[in-house]
Structure 1
Amino acid sequence: MIHAAIRTLAIAADHVLSQEQMVAAHVLIFGRTAAAIQAITNINRFDEIHFA
């Protein structure tokens, strides 16, 4: 779904992303997503440790 969104935006901008740019975009998006999930996980652990 994210891949399709990136491709749609590229077409809308009349600019086709190269394979390297597509991979970089995926890394950026999924990297941020992973960091957000990790932060949430850390918050949950913090709550469990301090408020259990």
Structure 2
Amino acid sequence: METLNLRLKQRFLTAQLVPIFVQGATNDLLYCLLHRDSEPNKQILQLLMETRS
């Protein structure tokens, strides 16, 4: 049982929660910006860049 516990601990990477949360939020934001709007068939990021210029 001790060997099993040791092997399980070695398989999992320990990390701090804040960087993991930031990475997840960044991934979601990028996914939203790269999503295509159905009517003009452009990416959301393209639409935002067009409105700023």
Normalised by the length of structure 1, the TM-score is 0.44
Higher relative contact order (CA 8 A, sep 6+): 1
Is the radius of gyration larger for structure 1 or structure 2? Answer: 2
| Structure with a larger share of its residues in helix | 1
